Chain A
Amino acid sequence: MNAQMPVLIVVVPLLSAFAIAAAGWFNRRLCMPTAAAALGVATLCTLGLLLRVIQDGEVVYRLGGWAAPWGIVYRVDFLNAPVLVLVAAIALVNLVATSRIVVEEFPGKEGAFYALYVLFVTGLLGMVVTGDAFNLYVLLEIASITGYALIAMGRGRAVLASLNYVFMGTIGACFYLLGIGYLYIMTGSLNMTDIASFLPPLYSSKAVITAFIIIMVGVWLKMALFPLHGWLPNAYTYAPSSVSSLVAPLMTKVMVYVMIRIILTVFTPAFTFRALGLNQAVVWLAVAAIFMGSLMALAQRNLKRMLTYILIAEVGYMVGGAWLGNRAGLTGAVLHILNDGLMTFCLFLAAGNILYRVRGLNMEDLRGLFRKMPFTMGGFVIGALSIIGVPPTCGFFSKWYLILGGIQAGHYGFVVALLFSSLVNLILFFRIIEVGYFEPHSEHRHEGQDHAPSMEEAPVGMVVSLLIVASGLILAGLYAGDIVQRVVNLAIPESIV
Chain B
Amino acid sequence: MSDFFSHLVARYNYWIYITLMMIGLYAMIAKNNLVKKIIGMNIFQTAIILFYISIGAKKGATIPIISHGSGHEAHVVKAADYINPLPHVLMLTAIVVAVATLGVALALAVQVYRQYKTLEEDEILQKIRES
What is the distance, in angstroms, from A67's C-beta to the closest C-beta of chain B? Answer: 16
Select which of B34, B44, B109, B116 is within 8 A of A170 by beta carbon.
B44
Whether the pair A181, B105 counts as a contact (CB closer than 8 A) is: no
B2 within 8 A of A: no
Whether the pair A177, B94 counts as a contact (CB closer than 8 A) is: yes
Encode contact with A along B36-51: 1 for CB under 8 Å, 0 otherwise: 0100010011001001
Q: How large is the interface on A (under 10, 10 to 19, 20 to 34, 35 or more residues)?
A: 20 to 34
Encode contact with A along B70-100: 1 for CB under 8 Å, 0 otherwise: 0000000000000000010010011001001
Report which residue of A159, A174, A177 has the largest number of chain B beta carbons within 10 angstroms of its beta carbon: A174
What is the distance, in angstroms, from B85's C-beta to the closest C-beta of chain A? Answer: 13
Whether the pair B48, A157 counts as a contact (CB closer than 8 A) is: no
Whether the pair B28, A148 counts as a contact (CB closer than 8 A) is: no
Select which of A134, A138, A141, A166 is within 8 A of B105 by beta carbon.
A166
Select which of B34, B37, B101 is within 8 A of A145 by beta carbon.
B101
Whether the pair B101, A141 counts as a contact (CB closer than 8 A) is: yes
What is the distance, in angstroms, from A388's C-beta to the closest C-beta of chain B? Answer: 34
Specify the main secondary structure of chain A where it touches its partner: helix
**Inter-chain contacts of A84 with B (CB < 8 A):** none
If A145-B104, A157-B128 touch, does A167 touch B37 (CB 8 Å cutoff)? yes
B108 within 8 A of A: yes
A70, closest chain B residue (CB): B86
Select which of B37, B104, B116 is within 8 A of A148 by beta carbon.
B104
A162 within 8 A of B: yes
What is the distance, in angstroms, from A156's C-beta to the closest C-beta of chain B? Answer: 9
If A134-B90, A145-B100, A177-B94 touch, does A163 touch B52 (CB 8 Å cutoff)? no
**Inter-chain contacts of B116 with A (CB < 8 A):** 160
Cα distance A174–B102 when bound, in Å? 14
Whether the pair A171, B109 counts as a contact (CB closer than 8 A) is: no
B49, closest chain A residue (CB): A177
A178, closest chain B residue (CB): B48
Whether the pair B100, A141 counts as a contact (CB closer than 8 A) is: yes
Q: How large is the interface on B (under 10, 10 to 19, 20 to 34, 35 or more residues)?
A: 20 to 34
If A167-B37, A174-B45 touch, does A138 touch B93 (CB 8 Å cutoff)? yes
**Inter-chain contacts of B41 with A (CB < 8 A):** 166-167, 170-171
**Inter-chain contacts of A137 with B (CB < 8 A):** 94
Whether the pair A162, B108 counts as a contact (CB closer than 8 A) is: yes
Encode contact with B along A171-183: 1 for CB under 8 Å, 0 otherwise: 1001001100100
What is the distance, in angstroms, from A139's C-beta to the closest C-beta of chain B? Answer: 11
Cα distance A149–B105 when bound, in Å? 9
Whether the pair A181, B44 counts as a contact (CB closer than 8 A) is: no
A387 within 8 A of B: no
Whether the pair A181, B52 counts as a contact (CB closer than 8 A) is: yes
B23 within 8 A of A: no
What is the distance, in angstroms, from A447's C-beta to the closest C-beta of chain B? Answer: 32
B128, closest chain A residue (CB): A157
B111 within 8 A of A: yes
**Inter-chain contacts of A185 with B (CB < 8 A):** 55
**Inter-chain contacts of B28 with A (CB < 8 A):** 167, 171
**Inter-chain contacts of A184 with B (CB < 8 A):** 55, 87
**Inter-chain contacts of B51 with A (CB < 8 A):** 178, 181
A163, closest chain B residue (CB): B108
B57 within 8 A of A: no
Select which of A152, A170, A174 is within 8 A of B108 by beta carbon.
A152
Cα distance A152–B59 when bound, in Å? 47
B115 within 8 A of A: yes
A165, closest chain B residue (CB): B108
Whether the pair A166, B44 counts as a contact (CB closer than 8 A) is: no
What is the distance, in angstroms, from B127's C-beta to the closest C-beta of chain A? Answer: 10
Cα distance A177–B97 when bound, in Å? 12
If A160-B124, A171-B28 touch, does A148 touch B44 (CB 8 Å cutoff)? no
Encode contact with A along B97-125: 1 for CB under 8 Å, 0 otherwise: 10011001100110110011000000010
- Interface CB pairs A-B, < 8 A, 24: A134-B90, A138-B97, A148-B105, A149-B104, A152-B111, A159-B108, A159-B111, A159-B112, A160-B112, A162-B108, A163-B34, A163-B108, A163-B109, A166-B104, A167-B41, A171-B25, A171-B28, A178-B51, A181-B48, A181-B55, A181-B87, A184-B55, A184-B87, A185-B55
- What are the nearest 7 A-B pairs in CB distance? A159-B111, A163-B108, A141-B97, A166-B105, A170-B41, A159-B112, A148-B104
Chain B residues in contact with chain A, CB under 8 A? 25, 28, 34, 37, 41, 44-45, 48, 51-52, 55, 87, 90, 93-94, 97, 100-101, 104-105, 108-109, 111-112, 115-116, 124, 128
Query: A148-B104, A148-B108 provided; 16 other pairs, C-beta below 8 A?
Result: A145-B100, A149-B104, A152-B111, A159-B108, A159-B111, A160-B115, A166-B41, A166-B101, A167-B37, A167-B41, A171-B44, A174-B48, A177-B48, A178-B48, A181-B51, A184-B87
